[in-house]
Amino acid sequence: MYKLPALDAVKELKAIAVLTSGGDAPGMNPAIRGVVRAALSHGIRVYGVNRGYSGLIIGDIWEMNSRSVTNIVQRGGTLLKSDRCEAFKDPTVRHQAAEILREREIEGLVVIGGDGSLTGAALLAEESGIPVVGLPGTIDNDIHGSDDTIGFDTAVNTALDAIDRIRDTALSHERLFLVEVMGRDSGFIATQVGIACGAEMVVIPEVEFKIQSLCFQLANNRVKGEGSSGIIVVAEGPRPGLTYRIAQQLEENGQSPKVCILGHIQRGGSPTGHDRVLASCMGATAVDYLRAGYSSIMVGVQKGEVLDVPLKEVLERKKPLASEWIAMSSLLHK
CB 150 to a copy of itself: min, Å: 13
Cβ proximity of 229 and 150 under 8 Å: no
Q: Can 8 be counted among the known catalytic residues?
A: no
Residue among 133, 142, 105 nearest 31 (CA): 133
Count Cβ atoms within 10 A of the Cβ of residue 278 and give its class: 0-12 exposed, 13-18 middle, 19 or more buried.
buried
User: Does 265 carry a binding-site annotation?
Assistant: yes
Cβ count near 195 (within 10 Å) = 19
CB 198 to a copy of itself: min, Å: 4
* Closer residue to a copy of itself, CB minimum distance, 53 or 177: 177
* Closer residue to a copy of itself, CB minimum distance, 103 or 164: 164
User: Does 264 carry a binding-site annotation?
Assistant: yes
Residue among 67, 64, 119, 68 nearest 94 (CA): 119
- CA–CA separation, 231 vs 295, rounded Å? 45
Q: Which of 24, 83, 140, 288 is catalytic?
A: 140
**HSE value, Cβ hemisphere, 13 Å, CA-based, for 61:** 22
* Closer residue to a copy of itself, CB minimum distance, 63 or 305: 305
User: Does 27 carry a binding-site annotation?
Assistant: no
- CA–CA separation, 83 vs 98, rounded Å? 18
CB 92 to a copy of itself: min, Å: 26
* Closer residue to a copy of itself, CB minimum distance, 8 or 92: 8
Angle at 180 between CA 143 and CA 303, to 5 degrees: 30
* Closer residue to a copy of itself, CB minimum distance, 73 or 101: 73
Residue among 99, 34, 42 nearest 69 (CA): 34
Strands 61-64 and 45-49: antiparallel
User: Does 105 carry a binding-site annotation?
Assistant: no
CB 299 to a copy of itself: min, Å: 13
User: Does 106 carry a binding-site annotation?
Assistant: no
CB 15 to a copy of itself: min, Å: 18
The full length of the chain comes to 334
User: Does 117 carry a binding-site annotation?
Assistant: yes
Element (H, E) at 136: strand 132-136
For residue 93, the one-letter residue type is V
User: Does 282 carry a binding-site annotation?
Assistant: no
Element (H, E) at 268: none
Gyration radius from the chain CA atoms: 22
Positions annotated as catalytic residues are 140
What residues are designated binding site for ATP?
Answer: 23, 84-85, 114-117
Please give the annotated binding residues, written as ranges.
Answer: 23, 33-37, 84-85, 114-117, 138-140, 167, 175, 182-184, 198-200, 224, 236, 258, 264-267
| Annotated binding-site positions for Mg(2+) | 115
